[in-house]
Structure 1
């Protein structure tokens, strides 16, 4: 194997060139020794893409420059790729010739075929069609038996004993099913929204991708280069990264980045492209290898980030990597990212995820966009997102902890205008930035760690104190409730939001979809949501909404009845991270309770609740299977509005309710406000063939959300404040 150019010979002296010019023009010629080539080949068999540490070690062992080592591996990969291409082309040509000959022979045979009965042309036999139908019927019968067994377990009796379903034309909302306390409420006549469908929503599936060895080699090269860039971005500070003087966040110096990575930033010449770059670091209560497993397993990935990841899937596993360390694992993945509001469209990404163990106890995981040539894999988003090398560096610490440094770096081209409420948050990079990812990871790892802590609930429920199994069961059913709530705010798979009301204060959007999965009420569910701005810090809004003592001030269905927390499970170090079972007094149904989970991290917070009967709570408390407990969650999401809050986030999170009154009297002070999304889910008691909402239904849904918003504003003393969008409207962002 040769390094450099193989052309030799001195430069021509014609034209009067001097000896110095001839010496400079003389091309280098170097041939590796047999020992060097043998050593390089041995390493190449084990790892065709060595990292910088391996290349430096080879340079020292073989007496070659690191640049020579790098070029040798590049040339060897190119040579191997060419050999594979020639072999593939030869095999394809042979197969093509064989099929052509077989096709010609079959054509000649068909010309001579006659019917043995009449001597005429042959008639196609239906035997194979019948066999195909028999096989399809057998598959359908197996699916029916499976569904019947699930239904029997859910209904508590064999499916054969269930009464036949009679078609019902009347469609009404059953507010009892979404009421906090099972209180009787006004019934609604609600038909399906225009364009909605009652067909079962298909799961996230992708067609089989035909990825050749050449494509896989290209993916490996892209991932390897992205890994090198990620490590440099994570380990370099000034002048590549500078700290903001307003909020202390790391800001990428674009000019310096262009100089270091000129090719990676070529698309920034497009004036419509906006760059979002952020970097954060923190300590996580989970060991490094467990974190790596979570990144690689797409189901765990989506489960850990329900507030950010609405859909995720692995399209192809390019390399399984080393089993013990997960090093060199390479996957082609899909992800749909969300902000929990119907006003913000989701972002769709196809990307490569590559894991590399840097040293013992240290891993780097990089994500980089990869273009998919096949069309119609998934509906496009209203903004085009290209992910530059992003990811995290995971370093093991004592006591099972890990230090995680997270980097998010994307180019975004908006195809439409951003809603005025979310312009500051999105353009600041906080909506999808590293701080949000790391904060969610820290909170979910704390939640898992709480399962290992021994201790019972501080309050009994009907004499039942949850065992460790009961605590785990309660946390599991609550996590399912939160995931269902997040999925309802950003419906996908063809379910679109419909704007049913717009006022100066807020707009209400709704959608319908059919629920058939276990653990959900069977029928059509309407999801209605609205987002408002409040001149109150997010921590104060969160404290107000999660406190059972102030619930009667905003819950229009409670009829101002007092509420008591009868069971409490902490699932994090922050007092706001908890699971509660609430009971309302002076209600007509004493067996109806509320399961509520409140969670908060550095990027935002949630308050999610669902009505649950006493029997279901006792089942969960005893540690039994909670898969079939029906949940129909509603609740609130609280985010910062993206404006400078005049203080550190830690100080904001450590404030308590005592400061709320002074803040309200001053109208919000210097700080930024909160973006609060109010979301309800309501079960339709029966199906309807109609495809539109009646005016009465629209008014009832609008009144439900409108009254809730007005009572929240009144309780927080900010009824007269409106979102000032002048700065957002008069500023052009690039």
Structure 2
């Protein structure tokens, strides 16, 4: 990817203003009190079972019982209390039009803002779930990961586009993060260019319950700063971390968000309204996968022996895992949109769901120098999610859809299992050379699941770079251009009236990053580059449909 400002740099003017506001003494006290109350709520939600949680053992899901939650935790809002007080002392009053700058005698302007916030909040839909997992890391290592937002956003790159710390309100002790209180801004995303990111500003509080137990809680600050845009409200969410044995922890994750899904693309409405977009299972599965990977690289996870390859190559396994991790993070970043580099529509008729963006790389050794073009789209397929994933994973099928190696056979020359889930694999693939050519195409590929999506991410690399990696040399200098697929479950009934009886299927999101040697600037995309980008992704979609649909007719 092109070089960017670090995630800890405050780039948005709104973030700069917030960073000043949160550090004022009066707001520090309010945020500290909010975080303390939120930690008590999160602890109860993590420990209790029914009736607070509706548990489906067959589906392995736990969904919040909203009625019970409101009975237990909802309190009368201070603004409403003030309105009641005014009515009591002054008699019946007319409420103002909250869309106008009307005055409300007896109620402060600040609380008028809160009334507007409540009106906006009425448009939000609750998405709350809980999941439990076992992570191959000790509690303190996990706590430190959450404290370093760069590390946190890297681990959860499939969910978190970017994150910054706006302020440290409490710093804890040097050797003990107990009591640390941060204000964080983060963008959450789903793997598609058709979905906007969710910008959230929240307090993150770290609390040690005993020598083996920690609580990490996030809570939105819109109750303190009513001017914050309310597209996603993060109610007390986070995780309870309990030590099991050396380098292993039980993590109970609670995800409790109120989201405005009014502007969600029809194709993804089911993903959001069903809670799949940012559900607790997704966070836990990602956490397990990332720390399984670290344990394998360090060879300290007894459940998973040192990975073995098909042809005995061992020296470069760790390097290959590092390279694949960087590739996946870059792919996830490509799938999301930033205000500094937003998606743009292609100026082509009938290409409204195909988007493009450009990046200029000057000094990142992990990407080719020059201008790269990322082209992406999402399509609905009347084929189950698992079937699409299995088709794309199968090496023998690559010749059916890959533009670079179309019509040529491929074989796996290195296979590394990356944890307890058999879908989590890093491999090297070798494609046969073209007729009358001796150059073979090599791909590094990673497949994985985060419980919601199934991913196939790959990048072509040169043969010399492959040998460099397998010899155990520095993989950070190997340039890659990540491409790949994210497959999400779909509910076709939300798509259109004409096809509402077809039933479910899957959403296939595709993103390719390619170099355009004819470009010297990332500002403008000439017509020939537009046509090339469109042709690559349109051809890939057509080839996948041609290969898959006859099988399922």
TM-score by length of 2: 0.81
The answer to whether the Cα contact below 8 Å between 2:171 and 2:181 also exists between their aligned partners in 1 is yes
Question: Which residue matches 2:20?
Answer: 209
Q: 2:490 aligns with which of 624, 635, 641?
A: 641
CA distance in 2, matches of 1:626, 1:531: 31
SS of corresponding position for 1:339: coil
Question: Which residue matches 1:495?
Answer: 341
SS of corresponding position for 2:531: helix
Q: 1:482 aligns with which of 328, 338, 344?
A: 328
Deviation at 1:638, TM superposition (A): 1.2
Residue 465 of structure 1 pairs with residue 310 of structure 2: no
The answer to whether the Cα contact below 8 Å between 1:439 and 1:603 also exists between their aligned partners in 2 is no
Residue 568 of structure 1 pairs with residue 415 of structure 2: yes
Q: Deviations over 1:605-644 (max 9, x none)?
A: 2111111112222222222222221111111111122689
The answer to whether the Cα contact below 8 Å between 1:450 and 1:570 also exists between their aligned partners in 2 is no
Residue 256 of structure 1 pairs with residue 103 of structure 2: no
Question: Which residue matches 1:427?
Answer: 273
Residue 613 of structure 1 pairs with residue 462 of structure 2: yes
Question: Which residue matches 2:513?
Answer: 681
Residue 316 of structure 1 pairs with residue 167 of structure 2: yes
Residue 535 of structure 1 pairs with residue 535 of structure 2: no
Q: 2:233 aligns with which of 369, 373, 386?
A: 386
CA distance in 2, matches of 1:617, 1:338: 32
CA distance in 2, matches of 1:316, 1:452: 34
| Structure 1 residues 509-524: aligned runs within 5 Å | 509-516=355-362, 517-524=364-371
User: Alpha carbons of 1:264 and 1:546: their partners in 2 closer, same or farther (altered >3 Å)?
Assistant: farther
User: Alpha carbons of 1:690 and 1:315: their partners in 2 closer, same or farther (altered >3 Å)?
Assistant: closer
Q: Deviations over 1:688-733 (max 9, x none)?
A: 4696545444333222212211221222226998xxxxxxxxxxxx
Q: Which has more helix, going by share of residues?
A: 1
CA distance in 1, matches of 2:236, 2:492: 27
Residue 242 of structure 1 pairs with residue 54 of structure 2: yes
CA distance in 1, matches of 2:258, 2:244: 33
Q: Where does the alignment leave 5 or more consecutive residues of structure 1 unmatched?
A: 1-197, 645-668, 722-734
The answer to whether the Cα contact below 8 Å between 1:361 and 1:395 also exists between their aligned partners in 2 is yes
Deviation at 1:375, TM superposition (A): 12
Q: Deviations over 1:337-380 (max 9, x none)?
A: 1101001110111111111111231111110112599999xxx9
Question: Which residue matches 1:146?
Answer: none
Q: 2:481 aligns with which of 632, 656, 669?
A: 632
Question: Which residue matches 2:535?
Answer: 703
Residue 441 of structure 1 pairs with residue 287 of structure 2: yes
Deviation at 1:417, TM superposition (A): 2.2
Q: Please say which of residues 445-454 and 366-375 is displaced more in the overlay.
A: 366-375
User: Alpha carbons of 1:264 and 1:582: their partners in 2 closer, same or farther (altered >3 Å)?
Assistant: farther
CA distance in 2, matches of 1:231, 1:318: 22
User: Alpha carbons of 1:520 and 1:260: their partners in 2 closer, same or farther (altered >3 Å)?
Assistant: same
Question: Which residue matches 2:143?
Answer: 292
Q: 2:429 aligns with which of 562, 566, 582?
A: 582
The answer to whether the Cα contact below 8 Å between 1:501 and 1:508 also exists between their aligned partners in 2 is no
Question: Which residue matches 1:282?
Answer: 133
The answer to whether the Cα contact below 8 Å between 2:161 and 2:187 also exists between their aligned partners in 1 is yes
Q: Deviations over 1:283-341 (max 9, x none)?
A: 22222221111111212211211111110122222222245552212111111111010
SS of corresponding position for 1:451: helix
Q: 2:31 aligns with which of 212, 215, 219?
A: 219
Question: Which residue matches 1:162?
Answer: none
The answer to whether the Cα contact below 8 Å between 1:515 and 1:524 also exists between their aligned partners in 2 is yes
The answer to whether the Cα contact below 8 Å between 1:501 and 1:507 also exists between their aligned partners in 2 is no
The answer to whether the Cα contact below 8 Å between 1:523 and 1:686 also exists between their aligned partners in 2 is no
Question: How many pairs does the alignment contain?
Answer: 491
User: Alpha carbons of 1:374 and 1:621: their partners in 2 closer, same or farther (altered >3 Å)?
Assistant: farther
User: Alpha carbons of 1:503 and 1:673: their partners in 2 closer, same or farther (altered >3 Å)?
Assistant: farther
Deviation at 1:683, TM superposition (A): 0.5
Superposed CA RMSD: 3.2
CA distance in 1, matches of 2:223, 2:479: 39
Q: 1:602 aligns with which of 444, 447, 451?
A: 451
The answer to whether the Cα contact below 8 Å between 1:543 and 1:576 also exists between their aligned partners in 2 is no
User: Alpha carbons of 1:512 and 1:373: their partners in 2 closer, same or farther (altered >3 Å)?
Assistant: farther
CA distance in 2, matches of 1:459, 1:264: 63
Question: Which residue matches 1:549?
Answer: 396
User: Alpha carbons of 1:622 and 1:264: their partners in 2 closer, same or farther (altered >3 Å)?
Assistant: farther
The answer to whether the Cα contact below 8 Å between 2:296 and 2:306 also exists between their aligned partners in 1 is no
Q: Where does the alignment leave 5 or more consecutive residues of structure 2 unmatched?
A: 11-15, 81-116, 300-304, 494-500
| Structure 1 residues 32-431: aligned runs within 5 Å | 201-204=4-7, 205-206=9-10, 207=16, 209=20, 211-243=23-55, 247=59, 249-263=61-75, 270-371=121-222, 384-414=231-261, 417-431=263-277
Q: Which has more strand, going by share of residues?
A: 2
SS of corresponding position for 2:298: coil
The answer to whether the Cα contact below 8 Å between 1:288 and 1:361 also exists between their aligned partners in 2 is yes
User: Alpha carbons of 1:491 and 1:523: their partners in 2 closer, same or farther (altered >3 Å)?
Assistant: farther
SS of corresponding position for 1:368: strand
CA distance in 1, matches of 2:448, 2:523: 37
CA distance in 2, matches of 1:402, 1:283: 6
The answer to whether the Cα contact below 8 Å between 1:604 and 1:639 also exists between their aligned partners in 2 is yes
User: Alpha carbons of 1:445 and 1:255: their partners in 2 closer, same or farther (altered >3 Å)?
Assistant: same
TM-score by length of 1: 0.62
SS of corresponding position for 1:557: coil
Q: Which one has the largest radius of gyration?
A: 1
CA distance in 2, matches of 1:504, 1:257: 46
Q: Deviations over 1:653-710 (max 9, x none)?
A: xxxxxxxxxxxxxxxx998422111111110114346965454443332222122112
SS of corresponding position for 2:49: coil
CA distance in 2, matches of 1:212, 1:252: 35
